[in-house]
């Protein structure tokens, strides 16, 4: 590699960044508050929940490896071109499903940011929603480099806060965790819980394609893909274990995080945790909007036009965010789509997982590839 290539495609960007980017997509709308953990993992009991988390981790790593290898070999770093290579004209089905998911998650992120503004500062909910909207738009306006820096910097905060979280939880009510595991040996439904959760969250492996341009070999793609599952699900595990202390009642809590934080009795940490959740919403929303910006940019350049300017990226981001965060909520689309959350999992099984495990794997074994270190140029 040249010195310039070494500087651009560092070990961090090649090996760790893809997993951190996948974590960024997954965490914000889901297990940052504990709600998704209660929905998909706790119904199988404490032990079954651990098994489901383990299965989801394995599935995420497997699908990430396949996705990353295909993307590097075919040099497709936006979801439109990726799926055109996999399923031809059928790529439009994935885009429709993805846009449906984006409407849901951005609307949920906006509502969550509003709730944080109200709970922490006593401000109107729209203040938190607007702050998140401009935060996301401000980052995506500056393209890949700004987005990658966000993934890196927020990851330090996120993993640090979760590490403190489990320490304080074990100190405050750790004595309740082991007895709860012992008293509830049930595991029924763990496989379906893990599969369902992974099915619609692993779509993030395609959403984060722009950061895969740093991969310079199949070895990079495989290692980063294997690490993507654990990097994504480690905070979920660190959250799930303390939740077991209050099983089964915590299954029905709207915000399981608040239940645990109140038991800790540390107001300063409660505030820090809310700041972490807002940061998680910021990076998750950024990954979703950035994927759309990149898809538009590549289609735009393919027609001989200049790359999207910072102003164009900002405008697209603001329009998309405003429609999703405000219009969707106002006209009831959020409730409509949220009621079909599990249906989205089955849709992505059909339009993402199945094509990836069949046509995608076939393309790998057919040895379609870009040359090693193709990204140095």
367 has pLDDT over 70? no
pLDDT at 166 over 80: yes
> Exposure of 157 by Cβ count < 10 A (0-12 exposed, 13-18 middle, 19+ buried)?
middle
pLDDT score at 337? 55
- Answer whether residue 328 shows pLDDT above 80: no
Percent of the chain at pLDDT above 90? 38
Which candidate, 245, 237, 223, places its Cα nearest to that of 177?
245
Q: In the numeric block, which tokens belong to residue 133?
A: 């909207």
Tell me the pLDDT band of 374, cut-offs 50, 70 and 90.
Answer: very low
Lowest-confidence pick of 52-61, 163-172, 243-252, 341-350: 341-350
Q: What is the 3-state secondary structure (H, E, C) of 125-178?
A: HHHHHHHHHHHHHHHHCCHHHHHHHHHHHHHHHHHHHHHHHHHHHHHHHHHHHH
Chain-centroid distance, C-alpha 279: 13
Query: What pLDDT score was predicted for residue 259?
Result: 87
Whole-angstrom distance, CA of residue 210 vs CA of residue 139: 15
Region 171-177: mean pLDDT is: 94
pLDDT at 376 over 70: no
Place of tokens 């560092």: 10
pLDDT for the residue numbered 178:
94
Q: What is the CA radius of gyration of the chain?
A: 20
Residue 240's pLDDT band (cuts 50, 70, 90): very high
- Enumerate domains of the chain plus CATH numbers: 10-371 (1.20.1740.10)
String of b and e for 40-75 (b: at least 16 CB within 10 Å)? bbbbbbbbbbbbbbebbbbbbbbbbbbbbbbbbbbe
Terminus-to-terminus CA distance in the chain, angstroms? 10
Identify the CA nearest to 229 among candidates 198, 200, 206: 198
Task: Write down the pLDDT at residue 194.
Answer: 92
Closest by CA position to 235, among listed 183, 175, 340, 162 = 162
d(Cα 52, Cα 178) in Å, to the nearest integer? 18
Give the pLDDT confidence score for residue 332 in this predicted structure. Answer: 58
Is it the case that residue 69 has pLDDT exceeding 70?
A: yes
pLDDT at 192 over 70: yes
pTM for this prediction: 0.84
């Amino acid at each position: 590699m040249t010195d310039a290539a070494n500087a651009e495609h560092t070990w961090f960007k090649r090996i760790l960044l893809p997993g951190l980017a996948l974590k960024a997509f997954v965490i914000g709308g889901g297990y940052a508050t504990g709600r998704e953990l209660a929905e998909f993992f706790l119904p199988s009991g404490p032990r079954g929940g651990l098994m489901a988390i383990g299965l989801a981790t394995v599935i995420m790593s497997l699908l990430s490896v396949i996705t990353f290898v295909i993307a590097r070999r075919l040099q497709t770093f936006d979801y439109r071109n990726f799926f055109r290579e996999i399923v031809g004209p059928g790529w439009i089905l994935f885009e429709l499903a993805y846009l449906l998911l984006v409407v849901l998650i951005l609307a949920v992120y906006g509502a969550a940011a509003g709730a944080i503004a109200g709970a922490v500062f006593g401000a109107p909910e729209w203040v938190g929603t607007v702050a998140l909207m401009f935060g996301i738009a401000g980052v995506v306006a500056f393209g890949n480099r700004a987005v990658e820096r966000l993934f890196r910097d927020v990851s330090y905060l996120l993993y640090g806060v979760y590490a403190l979280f489990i320490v304080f939880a074990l100190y405050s009510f750790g004595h309740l965790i082991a007895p709860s595991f012992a008293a509830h040996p049930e595991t029924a439904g763990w496989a379906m819980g893990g599969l369902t959760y992974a099915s619609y969250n692993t779509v993030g492996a395609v959403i984060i394609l722009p950061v895969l341009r740093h991969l310079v070999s199949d070895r990079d793609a495989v290692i980063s893909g294997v690490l993507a599952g654990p990097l994504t699900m480690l905070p979920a595990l660190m959250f799930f274990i303390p939740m077991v202390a209050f099983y089964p009642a915590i299954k029905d809590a709207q915000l399981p995080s608040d239940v645990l934080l109140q038991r800790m009795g540390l107001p300063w940490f409660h505030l820090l945790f809310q700041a972490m959740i807002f940061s998680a919403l910021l990076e998750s929303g950024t990954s979703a909007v950035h994927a759309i910006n990149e898809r538009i940019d590549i289609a735009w350049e393919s027609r001989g036009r200049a790359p999207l300017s910072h102003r164009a990226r900002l405008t697209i981001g603001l329009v998309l965010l405003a429609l999703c965060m405000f219009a969707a909520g106002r006209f009831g689309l959020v409730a409509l789509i949220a009621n079909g959350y599990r249906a989205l999992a089955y849709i992505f099984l059909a339009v993402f997982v199945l094509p990836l495990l069949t046509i995608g794997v076939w393309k790998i074994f057919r040895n379609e590839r870009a040359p090693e270190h193709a990204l140095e140029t």
